[in-house]
Structure formats: structure tokens, C-alpha cells
């Protein structure tokens, strides 16, 4: 083959390569993320949290660990009424509760950590604007036969309550029902998410749930004319404002002390606020 012909063939091959390279998508190799090794001497910290507080506490634990690799925190949901047992049995070192159980030991160390409102939630299709505390008691005793009597959607209320070990149940019983009892005809939701989901899917349903979990699928009723907003909860104006607590057996020390101090300081409070909670009272 003549030298000139060989050069032309080489040039054509090079041009074809460039054209193909221009048409082919650019391949970017992304390294596979690797999990950071856990230090062998890391302190393991077990935490239990009320189910309504679980997402916020879990997020706080993750944020804390990013700057404190020497601590590995495990957060598990646990009904507030069962937290004393978890602490006593050594299943947890720290409990974050929505209601202080009555069987706390004498050496329990308690610190306010956040607030929310126990909201009364209905389906958005129910036009009832508000209730009084007296009406709320009548409602959950099963005395209201038709929402329309109070200006709501026609039909009998479908009541949704919580299991007796839940902090929400204990608070609702003490602040709303008092000496009365929730009717046995009420459905029992195992957790906050289940209560919200049921009300979102049933136009006649009503439940009580943390204001931190409110979304567009349900609507919170004002109580005595006061809605469960951040402002009314922070000012203590909402009738069912509640305080959440950190509980340990004795004053915390070591890894537990570090996490608790961070949780009640500005960085920890910022994480809790991002999950709909209101800062703890001074």
C-alpha cells in the first residue's frame, strides 16, 4: 500500500473515532460509598423514645454521631408507659418520653427536652371547625351520634384512640377525659402513624396525635378557639400543650451525659424543631 493511501486510511480512522466519541455518552465513574468503620472502642448508647418522638430522636442521634464517631447510638421506639421497665432492666440508658410514667424509681433524673400539642385530628372533608374541652370529652365517651349536630360532616364519628401504655393515651385521659373513660367502641391505633393514616382514609374518623405529625392529609381542630400552632404551643396557650422529657437512672455521665447535653443545647434543639417539635421550656 502506498504511503499516501496509508496516511489517508489512518486519518479516516482517527476521524471516525472522534465522531464516535462525540456521539457516545460521557461515562462518569462514581465511587461506591463505603461505610465509615466503627471504632473498636466506641461507646454504645441505647435510647428508647416514645413513638411520636422516635423520628426526631433518631435524627438527632444521627446528627450527633456525625461529629462524635466515638459514640454509637441505637434508638428504639417504646411506649412511654414501658420506659421505666426498659431503664430498670438495662435495655436502655436514656428514655425520651411524652408522658412521665408513674412508676419511675426515686433515683430517676428528669430533664424537659421539647414540647408539642396533642392535636385532635379529623379528615379534611369534615367541616367541623373546633370543639370545646367539654365537647371533646362527650365525643370520646361516644355520646355524639352525628357529626352534623355540631356542624360537621353528616354521619356517626369513628373514634380512634391509643393503647393504654402510650403517652398520648395517658395525657389525653388526664387532660381531656379526666374522670370519664374513652368508649370501648373506639378503635385502638398501635402508633401515631396508624392513627393519622386511619383518619386520612375515613371521612368520619377522629383521633388524637402529636402536632409534630400533622400533614395535609388530616386537619387539626381548634380547642376552645385555640389551634395547635407553634406559636400557641410555645406560649402555652393551646389547652393540650405537653412537655417531653429525657429520663435516666441517676444523673447521666459519660457518653449519655454528652448526648443529653447536646440534645438540650442549640444544635440538638434545632434537629428536634426540624421535626415539628417546639423548644423545651427554660
Per-residue pLDDT of the chain (282 residues; tens, 9 = 90+): 444 333 333 434 443 443 334 443 343 344 444 444 545 567 899 999 999 999 999 999 999 999 999 999 999 999 999 988 899 999 999 999 999 988 898 999 999 999 999 999 999 999 999 999 999 999 999 999 999 999 999 999 999 999 999 999 999 999 999 999 999 999 999 999 999 999 999 999 999 999 999 999 999 999 999 999 999 999 999 999 999 999 999 999 999 999 999 999 999 999 999 999 999 887
Rg of the Cα atoms in the chain? 28
| Residue 130 burial (10 A CB sphere; 0-12, 13-18, 19+) | middle
Does the fold of domain 117-241 match that of domain 43-116+242-279? yes
Residues 6+ apart with CB under 8 A from 2: none
Cα–Cα distance for residue pair 36/173, rounded to 1 Å: 46
DSSP character at residue 226:
B
Single out the residue of 56, 48, 170 nearest to residue 118, CA to CA. Answer: 170
Q: How far is it between the farthest Cα atoms of the chain?
A: 108
What is residue 280's predicted lDDT score, i.e. its pLDDT? 87
Q: What superfamily does domain 117-241 belong to in CATH? A: Periplasmic binding protein-like II (3.40.190.10)
CB atoms within 10 A of CB 20: 9
* 3-state class (DSSP) for residue 26: coil
Ranges of each domain in the chain: 43-116+242-279, 117-241
Cβ(272)–Cβ(113) under 8 Å? yes
Residues 6+ apart with CB under 8 A from 125: 153, 203
The length of the chain, given as a count of residues:
282
Structure-block grid coordinates of residue 162: 391509643
Structure-block grid coordinates of residue 108: 430517676
What is residue 103's predicted lDDT score, i.e. its pLDDT? 86
DSSP string, 68-133: -TTEEEEEEE--GGGHHHHHHTTS-SEEEESS--TT--TTEEEEEEEEEEEEEEE-TT----EE-H
CB atoms within 10 A of CB 240: 22
Cα–Cα distance for residue pair 49/71, rounded to 1 Å: 18
Q: What superfamily does domain 43-116+242-279 belong to in CATH? A: Periplasmic binding protein-like II (3.40.190.10)
Amino acid at each position: 500500500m502506498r504511503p499516501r493511501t496509508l496516511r489517508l486510511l489512518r486519518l479516516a480512522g482517527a476521524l471516525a473515532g472522534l465522531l464516535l466519541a462525540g456521539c457516545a455518552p460521557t461515562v462518569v465513574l462514581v465511587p461506591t460509598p463505603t461505610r465509615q468503620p466503627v471504632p473498636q472502642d466506641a461507646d454504645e448508647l441505647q435510647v428508647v423514645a416514645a413513638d411520636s418522638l422516635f423520628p426526631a430522636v433518631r435524627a438527632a442521634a444521627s446528627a450527633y454521631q456525625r461529629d462524635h464517631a466515638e459514640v454509637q447510638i441505637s434508638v428504639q421506639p417504646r411506649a412511654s408507659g414501658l420506659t421505666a421497665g426498659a431503664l430498670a432492666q438495662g435495655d436502655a440508658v436514656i428514655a425520651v418520653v411524652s408522658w412521665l410514667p408513674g412508676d419511675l424509681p426515686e433515683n430517676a433524673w428528669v430533664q424537659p427536652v421539647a414540647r408539642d400539642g396533642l392535636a385532635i385530628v379529623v379528615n379534611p372533608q369534615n367541616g367541623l371547625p373546633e370543639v370545646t374541652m367539654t365537647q371533646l370529652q362527650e365525643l370520646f365517651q361516644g355520646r355524639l351520634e352525628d357529626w352534623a349536630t355540631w356542624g360537621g360532616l353528616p354521619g356517626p364519628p369513628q373514634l380512634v384512640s391509643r393503647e393504654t401504655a402510650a403517652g398520648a393515651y395517658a395525657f389525653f385521659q388526664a387532660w381531656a377525659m379526666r374522670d370519664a373513660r374513652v368508649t370501648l367502641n373506639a378503635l385502638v391505633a398501635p402508633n401515631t402513624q396508624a392513627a393519622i393514616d386511619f383518619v386520612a382514609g375515613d371521612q368520619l374518623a377522629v383521633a388524637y396525635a402529636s402536632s409534630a405529625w400533622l400533614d395535609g392529609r388530616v386537619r387539626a381542630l381548634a380547642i376552645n378557639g385555640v389551634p395547635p400552632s407553634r406559636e400557641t404551643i410555645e406560649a402555652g396557650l393551646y389547652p393540650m400543650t405537653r412537655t417531653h422529657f429525657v429520663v435516666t437512672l441517676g444523673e447521666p455521665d459519660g457518653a449519655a451525659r454528652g448526648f443529653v447535653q447536646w440534645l438540650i443545647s442549640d444544635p440538638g434543639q434545632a434537629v428536634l424543631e426540624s421535626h415539628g417539635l417546639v423548644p423545651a421550656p427554660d
